[in-house]
Structure 1
Amino acid sequence: MDERLVVIVGYDGAQLLDIACVSSTLDVADLGGATPAYRVRLATPGGRPITCGQGLTLEGQETLERLTGPLDTLIVSGGLGFKAAAANPRIVGHVRRLAREARRVASVCTGAGVLAAAGLLEGRRAATHWMFAEEIAASYPGVTVDPCPIFIRDGHVSTSAGVTSALDLTLSFIAEDNGLELARQVAQVQVTYLQRPGNQAQMSMFVATPTPEDDLVNRLVAHITSHLDGNLTTTALATRIGVSERHLTRLFTQHLGQTPGRFVRQARTEAAAHLLTTTTLAMASVARRCGFRTAEALRLAFVDRYGVSPSRFRTTRRTPTAVAPRGVDRRLPDMPAWSVERRGRGRT
């Protein structure tokens, strides 16, 4: 095999970043010596230019209707135009046809809706952008849509969550095809994690919780998330903003849907999860930094929120690039020479 032909299916209203995350990451892998090299082509209906959801126009490189296999990987991009694409029998039919000629099939974001329309996700578990998971699940009851993971591999079919999760999925393909070392180097060049585990949640409370409309609650949320190791009892928080504990509880329940105590516990647990997956800090140090009195208190909170112990969580989800705590000599590896010295490998 002289090259790996990767076809990205685009359409009007596709998300530009869904396409660019895949193509740019594979391009870096080629510069790093991927063998065989990846040849990425954008296939569009009629081979025509497509207008992405952001208003920018991309030229089609291949005519979807005329393209034939064999393909290494077929990837359907997502975007707000996915509904029209999934309702277009010509697009759906050719995606179904090309999938039969591809070693690997994937979608990014709402591209899962197009794969589902083609029958390629029937009986499978699939990921998509959390905002559209319920809608796609209702439209395709034969598909088990999971709104939580960043990406899901089910046999030869892979589906990823929204937008930048395409980078995580692509890195997993590079690791599968060329080994973990090349994937690590590509991640360095792309200035990203080696790859977030596929089962990592798309959102945490720090991005999922809307900014409280109440100024007092907003100020306390900012204080809590930046002082997790401090005194965050309901009494201390109420005193800080000059209200009664009862009134504070009423404010949190109204604007955040939970009591101050539960919010603090959740914030501390998620911060601990981040430290466990990105550092080599001892369990007791993680507990202390996140406001838990003991490692046992951290364990109980973890089991309650994640259903597993902190040690199990770290074992299954920690990235290989987790950093040592401050004060430990851990020099960063040299960047690969090919990342700053282009080899001149062109694309056709």
Structure 2
Amino acid sequence: MLIDISKIKVTDRIRQDFSGIEELAQDIAENGLINPIVVTSDYQLIAGERRLRAHQHLGRQEVAVNVMDVRDYAHHLQLEISENEHRRDFTFSERIAYGKKIEELERIKAKERMTAPDKENLPEGEKGQVRDIVAEQAGFGSGRNYDKAKFIAEHATAEIIQELDAGIISTHKAFTQTKERMEAAEKAAAEANARAEAAEKEKENLRKQYKDSIPADQLEEAVNAAIERQQEENEVFIAQKEKEAQAALKAHDAKWKKDIEAESQKVRDLNAGYKKIQEELETLKLQQPEDLDDQQRAAQLKKLRYEADSNTVQLSIHVKQFLQKAAVTTLNLGSVASASSSEKKRFNESLDMLQTFIDQMRPAVNGRRVVEADVIN
């Protein structure tokens, strides 16, 4: 049957991605509506919102519908879920909406089982926790993943949700980023509260200190002036410390730059020596002296030594460049100490790799030719 499009009522729906409406509208214009929209007897939409939007895009006033009798709200939910059951190409936001619908339906079913007078004759509910049932049907895999997804939906930024919907980041990464952002916000709030409490305490101490020496009507002004002076002194002190830190870093960088340049010059000298030995070997081949084999062996050893020295110096440069960038400063130590547990764990893994590198190199530096540890890729 055909009904006026304006009569159809669209409430909270699972599907939120309506891309491709123009293509669908063009198909309907050319081939007609193959599957009518499904509505309740009072024209509540059950299935076919994209088809409805395509008709609106075409400027149609009427649309073909099938009317279904809906017993109650639970039945309405079940119809919408059934219509989407095999459509797993949902975005993250749509799967969350789908999960919430299933949760709501499961709660209604549970309530009916609890309040029914003849409980023995009611069909048994699905086994397992509700969150696991919901997770499987909504495509989250496990109840634990569904809990993470709900946490993201409730607390993540709009940018993170958009990246999830677009498939740019994983649920795990979104969960980690959201949790870290919340932890950082809580920490910042706690620090701000602590600073506010300290400032108020300082004000109270100043009030007590000036109480007997300053008239009551001038007390608050004197306290505020003292606080302002303290803040100015603190700013001057911090600026001075920052200046000293910058000077120290500048001196530190100059030292490393000088050392690295000296090492680079060594590499250039070694490469020149290596090239000279190659030329000597070519000359020996042409001259063919009586002690050719001995001279060739000596030259080959010298060539290998130049090559080994050059490689070692270049490795030393890489290490020094790394140390220059990752210099241990009070700021870096403070940053690591204040980092989230997940970032500390990742940094600790990097330190383990660095320690393995040192453990492998130390025997070679001490004269052992063979290093038995696994080579770091």
Q: TM-score, normalised by structure 1?
A: 0.28
**Structure number with higher relative contact order (C-alpha < 8 Å, ≥ 6 residues apart):** 1
Structure having the larger proportion of residues in helix = 2
Structure having the larger proportion of residues in strand = 1
Q: TM-score, normalised by structure 2?
A: 0.26
Determine which structure has more spread, i.e. the larger CA radius of gyration. 2
